[in-house]
Amino acid sequence: MGNYFVDLDRTFGQVQFTYYQMYSSESPEHYWRASKILYNLNMSLPPDARLDDMPPIKLHDHTYQSMLHSEAQAMEYCDEWSPVVMSSLAIYRKEMLDKLGNEG
């Protein structure tokens, strides 16, 4: 089971690193890209850790004004969901380690 956590942390960590790079990037669409990565990060979690109520973020049209508004929404989305996704994995990991400790 130890390898399972190493593999999970490796996979999650790589995507998490990319998410933080996008979130802190200076590119014009950085929050939008970060929000898409955050959603995929959640979807990459094991079913017991995944947040089923996390909605994907959607861009409604491609006008400049809409993109500016979408960036603000994407930043809010990241700020709202990032701590919840990260906490979900931490809780899942603790529950699995506690379960392993009780079996051994």
- Listed residue (83, 72, 85) closest to 32, CA to CA: 72
Taking only the tens place, the pLDDT of each residue in 86-97 is 999 889 888 888
State the pTM of this model.
0.81
* Distances 47 to 4, 19, 30, 68 between C-alpha atoms, Å: 14, 20, 28, 34
E strands, the chain, in order? none
1 pLDDT more than 60:
no
Taking only the tens place, the pLDDT of each residue in 48-79 is 899 999 999 887 666 767 666 788 889 999 99
47 pLDDT more than 70:
yes
Residue 85: which pLDDT band, with cuts at 50, 70 and 90?
Answer: very high
Alpha-carbon distance 49 to 84, whole Å? Answer: 11
The answer to whether 50 and 43 have CB atoms below 8 angstroms apart is: yes
Alpha-carbon distance 30 to 33, whole Å? Answer: 5
